[in-house]
Amino acid sequence: MVLFIEFYRIDRHRHHSGIPIRSAAMPPLAALPGLCALLPPLLMLAALPQRPGAAAGWRRFHALAVAALLASLASLGLQLGLPAATPAAASPLPGLAAGQLGAWVAVLVQVLGTVIGAVSSRSLEGEPRQPRFIAALAGVLAAVQLLLLADHWLVLIAAWAGVGLALQPLLCFYDDRPFARLAAHKKRVADRLADLLLLAAAGLAWQAVGSGSLPALWQHLATQAASPGLQAAAVCLALAVVLRTALLPVHGWLLQVMEAPTPVSALLHAGVVNLGGFVLIRFAPLLEAVPAARALLVALGLATAVLAGFVMLTRVSIKLRLAWSTVAQMGFMVMECGLGLYTLALLHLLGHSLYKAQAFLAAAGAVEDTRRRLLRPAVAPSVASLVMAPAGAAALVFGLAALAPAAWPAWWSGVLALAWAPLLWLPATRGPDEPGALRRLLGAAATLAALTLAALLGHALPFGVADAPLAAAGPAVLAGLGALYGGLALLQARPQALAGWRRWSYAGFYVDEFATRAALRLWPTRWMPAASD
């Protein structure tokens, strides 16, 4: 922190581009959101010191987590209640600032952290290393909350690196499991490469702007075109987010952390990997000034969404299906950020986090539900519903989107229709105790309409983000999602005809095998426990 303050002083003295610097004296009302926003990371840091005795440690963690949740709710409420002209982003500490975007995500993170802590205290009962788990969980939450407040390149880089360092003890909680060690090592390699890219992006942006402050960068971009240095910084930032967000080809560690306790999987899939989406939304002004960075995000995000979607269709394990689903959803969210649909990306981030937390924490129930379904004979969807479902979904989505035509581009309604079309599938045959086709269709249509209306209403929430749609990428995105839907429909209609493709898809197209070899070649390590371990 001393280093950050010193760099901030240098910024104040050397910055001569005419960009106004916030005064240290700020109105008391404007300081309240920032003060409340500082409490969650501080309270989680207070939970780090652990004494022997898991019960006392969990009681302390639960109390501090609830206090941090109340503080984050207070910060969000104060920011939403402040007049528009009030500088809500003012902060009493250099390099940190409270904004509406970070406040929404901070509430989500603290809700998830509090719930995951409560579940962990029960699921890990009897484990001798619970104090280590509590300290690591508190460290992850503190680092994430600090990242959400980052208003300076150095704070952002340090906080994101801190998230990865605090995660390592959780990933290797059962350190006698080889794949847990391998997953932690692969994530360590990806994190260090991302750190190097972020440092390069920070250095290039600092040189171009004359300051490491993010508001100074936004102000610079508002008055001048992006220089070659800033363009390179945007590309480095995009690649760093790809590495941190488990997109292909560095997605393998996210699949192998299934060896960690289930609450750790919930923390990863519901919170940590989603941070890449937050950072991209935060850096929207830089991305909008550099089309090459946006094109890179769209291409990598779309490829990840399509390939991971195909792999997920062929997996049987419940947790692995959820893991591949997360990879596909991260690709979709990064693609949304590259397309400039930041509000949709934020809604996607919030909704995916809540869904994946519930899915992993209720994984045992999902296994039981699957076993019960396996007792009934599987019925494939009818060919007619496979063909007609996209048209029906498009009619609903386009019709409801007409209520708020400025919410998203028209071509994005086609993307949503393809993504939600499977909801309208009908079985080829009906069982004796199953509802009729009309009842099924009405229920599915109601669900699809509710999803569309929720997305439209979400655009009315005060997130503090502004969209900048990239219309030129629309046809490519529609083609990619169309290919994914076509493959899914063929798999349902003629599964035996695609046996060769299924083998490749089941193996994840062997992408992770190449990435694993490259990681071990770049940074050799012993990931198989020794006989004495």
pLDDT block averages, 10 residues each, the chain of length 533: 38 39 47 84 86 82 95 90 53 78 93 93 86 92 94 94 92 82 88 95 94 92 90 96 91 81 86 92 94 94 90 77 88 94 93 88 65 59 88 92 86 91 82 69 90 90 88 89 88 73 78 86 76 52
Give the residue from 337, 243, 269, 278 showing the smallest Cα distance to 99: 278
Q: Which of 473, 237, 462, 222 is nearest to 343 (CA)?
A: 462
Domain finish residue from 134, 151, 168: 151
Separation between Cα atoms, residue 71 and residue 60, nearest integer Å = 17
Domain annotation covers residue 27: no
Q: Under the phi-then-psi rule, with left for phi > 0, alpha for psi from -120 to 50, and beta for the rest, what region is 265?
A: alpha
pTM (2 decimals)?
A: 0.88
Does some domain include residue 341? yes
Specify the residue for token string 């994101």: 160
**Two structure tokens written together for 160:** 């994101």
Residue 403 lies in a domain: yes
324 and 206: one domain? yes
For residue 7, the one-letter residue type is: F
Tokens of 240: 């760093």
421 and 502 housed in the same domain: no
Task: Give me the pLDDT at residue 68, please.
Answer: 95
Residue 383 structure tokens: 């060919």
Residues 240 and 354 placed together within one structural domain of the fold: yes
- State both tokens at 348: 């996607």
**Using CB atoms within 10 A of its CB, is residue 343 exposed (0-12), middle (13-18) or buried (19+)?**
buried
Question: What token pair was written down for 380?
Answer: 């494939």
237-272 burial: b if 16+ Cβ within 10 Å, else e:
bbbbbbbbbbbbbbbbbbbbbbbbbbbbbbbbbbbb
Total domains in the chain come to 3
For 242, half-sphere exposure in the C-beta direction (CA atoms, 13 angstrom radius) is 24
Q: What is the pLDDT of residue 254?
A: 87
Task: Give the pLDDT of residue 377.
Answer: 52
State the residue range of the domain holding 353.
177-364+497-526
What pLDDT sits at residue 152?
93
pLDDT of residue 7: 38
pLDDT score at 114: 95
Does 509 share its domain with 404?
no
Domain membership of residue 22 (yes or no) is no
The phi and psi torsions of 381 (rounded to 5 degrees) equal -65, 150
Residues 6+ apart with CB under 8 A from 525: 181, 185
In a domain, 24, yes or no: no
Sign of CA pseudo-dihedral 208, 210, 214, 219: negative
Same domain, residue pair 206 and 355: yes
Q: Which of 349, 339, 342 is nearest to 465 (CA)?
A: 342
- 275 shares its domain with 248: yes
- The answer to whether residue 434 sits within a structural domain is yes
- Residues 206, 336, single domain; the answer is yes
> What gap in Å lies between CA 447 and CA 144, rounded to an integer?
33
Residues 321 and 437 in one domain: no
Does any domain span residue 26? Answer: no
Q: What SS3 class is residue 84?
A: coil
The reported pLDDT for the residue numbered 474 is 87
The token pair that represents 316 in the structure block: 């049987």
Strand partners, 96: 150
What does the longest C-alpha to C-alpha distance in the chain come to? 78
Kindly state whether residues 183 and 305 are assigned to the same domain: yes
262 and 232 within one domain: yes
Asked whether residue 202 is assigned to any structural domain, the reply reads yes
329 shares a domain with 194 = yes
486 and 508 within one domain: no
